[in-house]
Amino acid sequence: MAFARAVRRPIGVFYYSASGRFSSGNEYSTVASKLENLSQCKSSVLSGYTNPVRGFGNFLRSFSSTPAVSDQMSLIKQLRQRTSAPIKDVKASLVECNWDLEAAQKDLRKRGKVLASKKSSRTAAEGMLAVAQNEGKVAVIELNCETDFVARNEIFQYLALAMAKHALLVESGSQQGSGVFPFGPELFEEFKLNLDHPKVNGETTVSNAVTEVAAIMGENVRFRRGFLLSKSSAGVLSAYLHTSPQPGLGRIAGIVSLEVEGENTQLEAIQRVGSELAMHVVAAKPLFLSKDLVSSEAIANEREILKSQVNVTPHCYETEL
């Protein structure tokens, strides 16, 4: 009994001080009323939680807008899958946008444009040639990047093929007959592309698509040049791509246009012959298409080389038997 009386007062003081923080009643109210107020506060805090420990943690987190660590990792993973951007940039955008996924994706696109503009002065000597062909024309575009690693990336290759297919729509002055029409960024970059890729999609210009891919890759990506070849009504166009990772892409391209005489000609067989000729063109790397196109300067240079080879002093060697 003596122990119970000794312990009862500290317990009463504890409940009095605890309940006093949560209630505005008379400070001389009874211990029973204080106990009732404390139990109500406790039930309001832990309502809806079956696990008291986890419930108290959720109660504390309700006062903060920052998600749990597991939720943060899930958001980072989702945004990374959507954009393929570096994890560092993904997390920075999520933190900047208060972990709003859609806002962070828009912020990443803005960051990517700034990053791409900063890297636009860097040398882009690698890349791919993309070739697209229809019944009357062949389009070749050159898309450059900084490293061979990016050139093998599926997003980069998808953009190159999409640009080549769209280059077939370029209006050239040689559409009435056969000919070659070169075009550069100033003509092609404002053309509209309709992309359908998980990482790059929607309708956008060629320039914006290149900038977006540059932001994803983290390198300088640029469209350098393109060529549009048109055939005559009696012609056949054939193409060959060397070091081709997939159809329509390669490191070196050869295009051959053949004129056909006669109506009963097997066009498929002639097109195969044209592909073989295009392969030999890639292997031989000719500088001129015909003798008439060889410049006088090139002829003079070759003559100087031949003369120097003829005027070499011969060496005599003596041998003993």
**In a domain? residue 18:** no
List of residues 6+ apart from 245 with CB closer than 8 A: 152, 157
CATH of the domain at 104: 1.10.8.10
Does residue 249 belong to any structural domain of this protein?
yes
Residues 76, 218 share a domain: no
CATH of the domain at 237: 3.30.479.20
The pLDDT score that the predictor gives to residue 242 is: 93
My answer on whether 133 and 245 are in the same domain is yes
Q: What is the predicted pLDDT for the residue at 18? A: 42
Neighbours of 103 (CB within 10 A): 14
CA distance 33 to 4: 21
Residue by residue, pLDDT tens for the chain (321 residues) are 444 444 444 444 444 444 444 444 444 445 455 556 555 555 554 444 445 444 444 544 444 456 777 788 888 888 777 766 677 777 887 888 888 878 877 777 666 666 666 777 788 899 999 999 988 899 999 999 999 999 999 999 999 999 999 999 887 654 445 688 999 998 888 889 999 988 888 899 998 899 889 888 888 999 999 999 988 777 889 999 999 999 999 999 999 988 887 766 787 888 889 999 999 999 988 888 888 889 899 999 999 998 888 876 555 556 565
Taking alpha carbons only, the member of 25, 22, 65, 54 closest to residue 41 is 22
The contacts found for 72-77 with CB under 8 angstroms, 24 or more apart, are 72/99, 75/99, 75/101, 75/104
What's the structural domain count of the chain? 2
**Single residue among 120, 138, 159 that ends a domain in this structure:** 120
Provide the whole-model pTM: 0.63
- Containing structural domain, residue 102: 70-120
Residues 172 and 289 in one domain: yes
Query: Do 138 and 239 fall within a single domain?
Result: yes
Q: How many CA atoms lie within 13 A of 9 on its CB side?
A: 4
- Do 261 and 212 belong to one domain? yes
Give CA separation, 314 vs 308, 309, 320, in Å.
Answer: 13, 11, 20
C-alpha 306/C-alpha 89 separation (Å) is 60
In a domain, 234, yes or no: yes
Residues 94 and 133 in one domain: no
Report pLDDT for 182.
Answer: 92
User: Is 170 within 8 Å of 139 (Cβ atoms)?
Assistant: yes
Q: What is the pLDDT of residue 105?
A: 75
Q: So what's the pLDDT on residue 183?
A: 92
Is 276 found in the same domain as 166?
yes
In this structure, what is the dihedral angle of CA atoms 148, 149, 154, 156, given to the nearest 10 degrees?
-60
Largest CA distance in the chain: 134
Residue 19 falls within a domain, yes or no? no
Q: How confident is the model at residue 312, as a pLDDT?
A: 61
Looking at the fold, whether 199 and 275 belong to one and the same domain comes out as yes
Query: Residue-wise over 264-285: b if at least 16 C-beta within 10 A, else e?
Result: eeeeeebeeebeeebbebbeee
pLDDT confidence of residue 160? 96
As a whole number of angstroms, the distance between CA 236 and CA 132 comes to 15
List CB contacts of 179: < 8 A, sequence separation 6 or more: 172, 173, 229, 230
**Phi and psi (nearest 5°) for 258?**
-115, 140
**Quick one: 269 and 225 in the same domain?**
yes
Cβ-contact 206, 222 below 8 angstroms: no
Q: Which of 104, 100, 177 is nearest to 137 (CA)?
A: 177
CA distance linking residue 196 with residue 178, whole number of Å = 33
Specify if 4 maps to a domain.
no
Q: Is 227 within a domain?
A: yes
- 153/252 same-domain check: yes
Based on the domain organization, do 171 and 245 belong to the same domain? yes
Q: Is 164 contained in some domain?
A: yes
**Number of helices and strands (H, E) in the chain?**
12, 9
Is 105 in the same domain as 228? no
Q: Residue 24: inside a domain, yes or no?
A: no
pLDDT (0 to 100) of residue 65: 58
Q: What is the pLDDT of residue 36?
A: 60
Phi and psi at 253, nearest 5°, equal -125, 140
